[in-house]
A and B are shown apart, each in its own frame.
Chain A
Amino acid sequence: MFDLSSMMQYLPAFLEGFIMTAKVSIISIGFSFILGMIIALMRISTHKILKYFALAYVDMFRNIPFIVLIFFSYYGLPEIGIYIDAFWTGVLTLSLAVGAYTAETLRAGIESIDKGIIEAAKSFGLSPFKIFIKIIMPIALTVSVRPLGSVFINLILTTSILSAITLNELTGVSKVIASTTFRPFEVYVFLVFFYGLLTFLLSGLFNLWHLRLNKYNEAG
């Protein structure tokens, strides 16, 4: 009943799907991180308009399901003359949506920083940019690595929804394999295990990174 051997021939296709998932994920993680940083900074700025814009942004993207967003982009963008393929539609929408979560995570990290430390740096004449790069970001990251890790793992799981706009990533490819082999059970069980293992490995990596970044406050 549970027959994996006959499916070996589909391994290359599966691998291609995996590479597609990896590509979408990595690019989107990069973009959503940068975007999240900008939104987080807007969110904590004293400028009223920036602040409320960021707040509305986060609120909107966290409360609308991703599949609705992706359909909006996929059908909407061509209507306004923007012709990009499923890959870039996916990357764009994923980055925008996950940026909201990244922003909240980074904001929590930034707000946890003792104000005195930043003032000390200011008093020594460090520029705002240097303070951000050398002090705020490193400390915020040590606080946020783990929550950031779950945000990014969620991003990877969310790429599966891109199969709904015809992107041939892991899930999309598996759908094809399932219907050509008539073995949906084996294919999807395998897929569940595959994603599960992937997230398990990644969360392990983020834990290690957390330990590395936090070595400075081990001793009390």
Chain B
Amino acid sequence: MIEIKNLYKDFGELNVLKGINLSIHEGEVVSIIGGSGSGKSTMIRCINGLEKITSGTLTVDGFDVTKPSELLEARKKCATVFQQFDLYPHLNVVDNITLAPINVLGLSKAEAQIKAMELLDSMAMSDRATFYPSQLSGGQKQRAGICRALAMNPRYLLLDEITSSLDPEMTAEVLEILKLLVKRGITMICVTHEIDFAREISDRIVFLDEGTILKDMDKQSFFNDDGGLMEPRIAKFLTKMATI
């Protein structure tokens, strides 16, 4: 379980997260939506230990990300796919995928490569295994990014707007893969602007507004007129998203 209690995050004078309380259980698919600058990425970065939290607690399966001694264990449980792909440019696709399994999980090179090839195969990417990131299309890059995350056997998959740098065709391609993963029962925390997609795959929707959680409810109630849509800000956000 990822457990966030009373989380505050400031950047100097700027209060970005203001008292977040959120628990995510294994097997859940949670979509996090909200306007630009509401703090979604910052929250994901806090879970990764990439941002130092100002106050509150954040644990991943009991491991406290604020404690240097426990951060590594927490990080092993979560794997992230990034909006800008952030593949290692000097390594080919397979080496991108196997770097952390070999150096963090201690897999042998052969084991890691077999695993990587399986993952690539499942995403119709095996013919790109020895390509460098610069030789891939956006959609292929993001599929490689997903493979890289899955190769860690993570308990939680964190996705931060992973389709927003892609054109519609490639977006569809990547979303298909995510749907497959959900079917297999992975736990997923997914920051997204694709409302339809969130509606389709999520169990729960969390709406973030100016650093606080405005609504945290199951999908059915969230999209009901007497649920999330009661909240004018959410209704406004959803109409805005729908018109884009």
A–B: direct contact at CB < 8 Å: yes
Chain A residues with CB under 8 Å of chain B are: 114, 116-117, 119-127, 130, 134-135, 138-139, 142, 213, 215-220
Contacts of A117 in B (CB 8 A): 86-89
CB distance from A192 to the nearest CB of B (A): 39
Q: Is B42 an interface residue (CB 8 A)?
A: no
Nearest neighbor of B133 in chain A, beta-carbon distance: A216
Contacts of A130 in B (CB 8 A): 103
Interface centre among A119, A123, A215, A219, by most B CB within 10 Å?
A: A123
Q: CB within 8 A of B89: which of A121, A217, A220?
A: A217
The answer to whether B134 touches A217, judged by C-beta atoms less than 8 angstroms apart, is: yes
The answer to whether B80 touches A219, judged by C-beta atoms less than 8 angstroms apart, is: no
The proximity string for B residues 40-54 relative to A, scoring 1 for CB distances below 8 Å and 0 otherwise, is 000001001110000
The answer to whether A139 touches B75, judged by C-beta atoms less than 8 angstroms apart, is: no
CA distance A124 to B77 in the complex (A): 9
Q: CB within 8 A of B88: which of A121, A125, A213, A218?
A: A121
CA distance A139 to B134 in the complex (A): 14
Nearest neighbor of A215 in chain B, beta-carbon distance: B132
Contacts of A215 in B (CB 8 A): 132
* B interface residues, how many (CB within 8 angstroms): 29
If A116-B86, A138-B90, A142-B90 touch, whether A123 touches B50 (CB-CB below 8 Å) is yes
B81-135 interface with A by 8 A CB criterion: 82, 84, 86-92, 99-100, 103-104, 132-135
Since A116-B82, A117-B89, A124-B148 are in contact, a sample of 7 more A-B pairs with Cβ atoms closer than 8 Å, ordered by chain A residue number, is A117-B88, A123-B79, A124-B100, A125-B100, A126-B104, A215-B132, A219-B134
Q: Is B76 an interface residue (CB 8 A)?
A: yes
Contacts of B24 in A (CB 8 A): none
The answer to whether B86 touches A120, judged by C-beta atoms less than 8 angstroms apart, is: yes
Contacts of B82 in A (CB 8 A): 116, 120
CA distance A218 to B134 in the complex (A): 8
Instruction: Tell me if A's interface is mostly helix, strand, loop or mixed.
Output: helix
CB distance from A207 to the nearest CB of B (A): 18
CA distance A126 to B76 in the complex (A): 10
The answer to whether A119 touches B86, judged by C-beta atoms less than 8 angstroms apart, is: yes
Q: CB within 8 A of A125: which of B72, B91, B133?
A: B72
Q: CB within 8 A of A124: which of B84, B89, B104?
A: B104
CB distance from A84 to the nearest CB of B (A): 40
Contacts of B133 in A (CB 8 A): 216
B16-72 interface with A by 8 A CB criterion: 45, 48-50, 72
Q: List 5 A-B contacts (CB under 8 A).
A: A123-B50, A124-B152, A126-B104, A134-B99, A135-B88
Interface centre among B92, B103, B134, by most A CB within 10 Å?
A: B103
The answer to whether A126 touches B100, judged by C-beta atoms less than 8 angstroms apart, is: yes
CB distance from B152 to the nearest CB of A (A): 6
CB distance from A146 to the nearest CB of B (A): 16
